Amino acid sequence: MSQRMHYASASPEALRPLYEAGRYLRTSTTLESSLLNLVFLRASQMNRCAFCIAMHWREAKEAGLSDDQLHGLLVWREASWYSDRERAALAWTEAITDIAGTHAPDYVYLEAQAAFTERELVDLTLAISTINSWNRFAIGFRTPPEKAPEVIASQKSVTQHQ
């Protein structure tokens, strides 16, 4: 696959809100990083974004998620190694990622509402919306998955200098 363009260089100002949302989510205490990694990875799987899967798989491993949690993500409903909170987040992720098909059903919302405070649920929805936006950039402009380690390294560099 050949990258169509380097969108971050073409219009860094357009991407600034996505970077800011990511920074907010990483520094906020509302959602644990392991949960965010599961959400980012599951939405990227649903959208079939090879770059984001490669990137978030690496980040999830680095954050300490188990091989079972990572390999079992596609079948999270049948797997025993997810907490009730993670299950609620994954169900909400699927409902919001496939919003045209699901229309965010009440039973999924009620499950998420039982597992998260209002602020956490808003932050979770921001995380889902943000990864879906990144998926669309990466897929649309054909960002190759081989670039994931380079992007992770550059993010760490930026974070260390803030």
| Tens-place pLDDT, residues 9-42 | 899 999 999 999 999 999 999 999 999 999 999 9
In angstroms, the CA 57 to CA 20 distance is 22
pLDDT in tens, 49-81: 999 999 999 999 999 999 999 999 999 999 999
Structure tokens given for 30: 């509302």
In angstroms, the CA 3 to CA 103 distance is 33
pTM, full prediction: 0.91
Q: What is the pLDDT of residue 51?
A: 94
Query: Comparing C-alpha atoms, which of 129, 121, 41 is closest to residue 89?
Result: 121
Ordered domains of the chain (ranges, CATH): 30-160 (1.20.1290.10)
Structure tokens given for 56: 């978030």
The secondary structure of residue 81, as a DSSP letter, is S
Sorted by sequence, the CB contacts under 8 Å of residue 90 that are 6+ apart come out as 38, 39, 42, 73, 76, 82
Lowest mean pLDDT among 36-45, 108-117, 125-134, 141-150: 141-150
Q: Is the pLDDT of residue 146 over 80?
A: yes
- Computed over every residue of the chain, the mean pLDDT equals 92
Q: Are 48 and 97 in contact (CB under 8 A)?
A: no
Between helix 12-27 and helix 33-47 the angle, nearest 10°, is: 140
Collapsing DSSP to helix, strand or coil, 93 comes out as helix
